[in-house]
Structure 1
Amino acid sequence: MAPRRFIVEADGGSRGNPGPAGYGAVVRDGDTGQIIAEAAEYIGRATNNVAEYRGLIAGLRAAQAIDPDARIDVLMDSKLVVEQMSGRWKIKHPDMQPLAAEARGVFPRDRVVYAWIPRERNKDADRLANEAMDAGKAGRQWEPRAVPEPKAVPVAPKAVAVAPEAVAVAEEQPQAPVRPAGWAADLGTASTFVLLRHGETRLTPEKRFSGSGGSDPELSDKGLWQAERAAAALAARGTVQAVVSSPLKRARQTAEAAAARLGLEVRIDEGIRETDFGAWEGLTFAEVQQQYPADLEAWLSSAKAAPPGGESFAATARRVSLARDKLLARYSGRTVLLVTHVTPVKTLVRLALGAPPESLFRMELSAASLSVVQYYADGNASLRLLNDTGHLR
């Protein structure tokens, strides 16, 4: 059977060059032209060329998540990127070289063809890049706008989702039968996420809302001790091959302790930051109940409800799912330590179990606790460990 063909359209922009930058990418079915995946991200201060390369990489990884054996036609309005990736122009700038190498590593070279198109034919990727930059200006990350019809979502051969905006649809549709983990034929080496919640901050023992929209507190003395204990336990296991962290200080400090013990570098991923709790940041549950009773009731009743000025759990799930898919594509068959927060860990566990959104309120997750989820090539996932705090005793 002939391999599937995808069209990747990618773009990036910088308002200042260098300045606030973002990228956008779409993946189209090569036969119908229908968009089957979108990706966009605000990447902070960067040049146009860096943003364009980041868009290319995101588009290629989105296509790889759908079908790693596909053939790809890349269409971009950046003459520089097209000529460099086609091998006709040398890559002299040191910022471009590692990005080009990363892009070449997604698919074998003989399966990707690059072509230049005028800007007016690259409107979808350009739109997404501008949406990402607008989101960054507003202090948030880009989120998908619309949920596609279920028929627009192709069946993925791996545990990765084909489009982040399809998460809500997938959660509402009947799921295919799931084989018990370990009972199927040999599917090769599973991809393993070791999930470490960060150590305590001054807000943790007071049980205050502490998300990505608040003061970004550092670890307390106890939190630093917890981070070192977790790092020692992980080093004793000796299986972690990469470390990825939320950008928030408490997670980065915890990740750095582990990475130092493991001899690894820390990679930052915006997708696994904590939920933004908006006006509730820094408040206790009792204070929220007193000051925002109606909003709290709505939040407890629906994953789509958000705190005033904040982020809903449904939006968090879309963001975390996209991050999961990118990481699975990048670290296929490897063991990765993800240092993150309560909601992202619970969300990854919930999605692995196929549990409903309200299950988030029914899990206990202690500071510096470890959980483990494994992902298999047939699309199944297995929860191996939840809220282990043995290393803290």
Structure 2
Amino acid sequence: MQIEADGGSRGNPGPAGYGAVVRDTDGEVLLERYGSLGVTTTNNVAEYTGLIEGLKAALELNATHVDVRMDSKLVVEQMSGRWQIKNPGLRPLAAEAAALVKRFDGVTFEWIPRERNKAADMLANQAMDEAKAGRGSARPSSSGSTTSNSPASEESGSGAPTLSWAPPSMDNATRIILVRHGETALTQEGRYSGRGDPALTDEGQAQAMAAAGRVAGLSRDVTAILTSPLQRCVRTAELISAEVGGVPVTVMEDLIECDFGRWEGLTFGEVQERWPREMQAWLSSTSVAPPGGESFQAVAKRVRGALATVVNSHAGGVVVLVSHVTPIKLVLRDALAAGDAFLHRLYLDAAGVSMMDVWPDGNVAVRSVNETAHLR
């Protein structure tokens, strides 16, 4: 089963509510829960409450395995064990959620953009609207620990970034510089290049050196360089390291390219001719994998985990991630809160550079996408 959960507070603190939706594996809604939480609850308390009520609802339906999906990066990362729970007001709720998790055979947590969590968000807002109108909630929470008088802290920002035209402060932001590797022989020929390990061509080496110069121009204060394990990325990362003062290069397995299975090494036209139905299904849904390969959803899940680890481990630093087309596209899709069609509309050049800033509360500012002026 799938759980979509959300919560919010109008004022932080202010009138608050939560929402949770339980779906079957086909996406059909099985059960909904929502409720008002009074006027003193912070956003994160409301989000944790939505999670708790969603887990309870799934247990009522005798679920054994659930995939929890939330647009609160903080809740997802804390429940996944990657972020510490620093706010004392959240610890009892996290403990209650953890106790419920233990009652399932398996629970996974996945961050999703707010646009893909509309159903739970709508329920949370409905609860707040009904409370404001004096009608209460049609499905009040049964939890006795859903309110908090704790003021908002650094952990109590909304799951949705605050909308503003003002330039964001860089306090506590982690700058992420995304670099696609230089050209290989497969890149030249437009062939699917996933887990194969071709080396950079001479032109690819020159492109990687140019990208290194661009990275150095963006920041001389690079704190970490992380790369896919494949040699086309490792070599690109090494050239960047040499340009920014010898910052060590660390391999991060989850930055590896999508596994294209039986399509590896083939052109789009060759795949279209041999697997027309499979190709159409793959283009139509990120949940579909190439024969013997990996779906974009699976890639997105590991890349989100990698990015969360980076932000947590290098908070406030400047981190270069050297990777491939698919992982970089997925990072940018999530950062821009775009839909899946974005993946087929964005073109990323070999040795192209993109940049974004990420804050601990999940806010993101995309600074550039696929810079290529350094390649001319």
**Structure-1 residue corresponding to 2:239:** 257
How far apart in 2 are the matches of 1:256 and 1:278?
28
| TM, length-normalised to structure 1 | 0.59
Question: SS where residue 316 of structure 1 aligns?
Answer: helix
Counterpart pick for 2:207 among 205, 219, 226: 226
**Structure-2 residue corresponding to 1:327:** 310
- Partner amino acid for 1:252? V
| TM, length-normalised to structure 2 | 0.61
For residues 260-296 of structure 1, the C-alpha deviation after alignment (integer angstroms, 9 at most, x for no partner) is 2212100111111110000000000000000110100
Question: SS where residue 292 of structure 2 aligns?
Answer: coil
How far apart in 2 are the matches of 1:358 and 1:202?
28
Question: SS where residue 111 of structure 2 aligns?
Answer: helix
- Partner amino acid for 2:323? T
How far apart in 2 are the matches of 1:234 and 1:178?
27
How far apart in 1 are the matches of 2:180 and 2:168?
33
1:36–1:312 distance in 2 versus 1, CA, 3 Å:
closer
2:226 is the alignment partner of 1:244:
yes
2:117 is the alignment partner of 1:173:
yes
Question: SS where residue 366 of structure 1 aligns?
Answer: coil
- Aligned pair count? 260
**Structure-2 residue corresponding to 1:50:** none
**Structure-1 residue corresponding to 2:334:** 351
1:217–1:185 distance in 2 versus 1, CA, 3 Å:
closer
For residues 127-184 of structure 1, the C-alpha deviation after alignment (integer angstroms, 9 at most, x for no partner) is xxxxxxxxxxxxxxxxxx97x5xxxxxxxxxxxxxx6x42369663126654346638
Counterpart pick for 1:65 among 71, 83, 86: 83
For residues 229-263 of structure 1, the C-alpha deviation after alignment (integer angstroms, 9 at most, x for no partner) is 11122223323221000111100010011112212
How far apart in 2 are the matches of 1:253 and 1:181?
40
Contact in 1 for aligned 2:114/2:160 (Cα 8 Å): no
How far apart in 2 are the matches of 1:206 and 1:391?
22
**Structure-2 residue corresponding to 1:153:** none
How far apart in 1 are the matches of 2:66 and 2:311?
19
**Structure-2 residue corresponding to 1:298:** 281
How far apart in 1 are the matches of 2:209 and 2:170?
35
1:317–1:170 distance in 2 versus 1, CA, 3 Å:
farther
1:184–1:371 distance in 2 versus 1, CA, 3 Å:
closer
Contact in 1 for aligned 2:67/2:110 (Cα 8 Å): no
- Partner amino acid for 2:236? T
1:371–1:293 distance in 2 versus 1, CA, 3 Å:
same
How far apart in 2 are the matches of 1:371 and 1:335?
13
Contact in 2 for aligned 1:178/1:380 (Cα 8 Å): yes
Structure ID, larger Rg = 2
- Partner amino acid for 1:167? W
How far apart in 2 are the matches of 1:390 and 1:184?
25
1:207-226 → structure 2 map (5 Å cutoff): 207-212=190-195, 215-226=196-207
**Structure-1 residue corresponding to 2:319:** 336
Contact in 1 for aligned 2:177/2:215 (Cα 8 Å): no
2:301 is the alignment partner of 1:318:
yes
**Structure-1 residue corresponding to 2:188:** 205
Counterpart pick for 1:289 among 272, 275, 285: 272
Specify every segment of 5 or more residues in structure 2 that has no aligned partner in the other structure, as ranges. 1-47, 56-64, 69-76, 92-101, 122-158
1:217–1:300 distance in 2 versus 1, CA, 3 Å:
same
Percent identical: 38
- Partner amino acid for 1:375? V
1:348–1:287 distance in 2 versus 1, CA, 3 Å:
same
1:295–1:178 distance in 2 versus 1, CA, 3 Å:
same
Range moving further from structure 2, 169-178 or 247-256: 169-178
1:199–1:68 distance in 2 versus 1, CA, 3 Å:
farther
Specify every segment of 5 or more residues in structure 1 that has no aligned partner in the other structure, as ranges. 1-28, 39-58, 74-123, 125-144, 149-162
Range moving further from structure 2, 375-384 or 274-283: 375-384
How far apart in 1 are the matches of 2:209 and 2:189?
22
1:361–1:69 distance in 2 versus 1, CA, 3 Å:
same
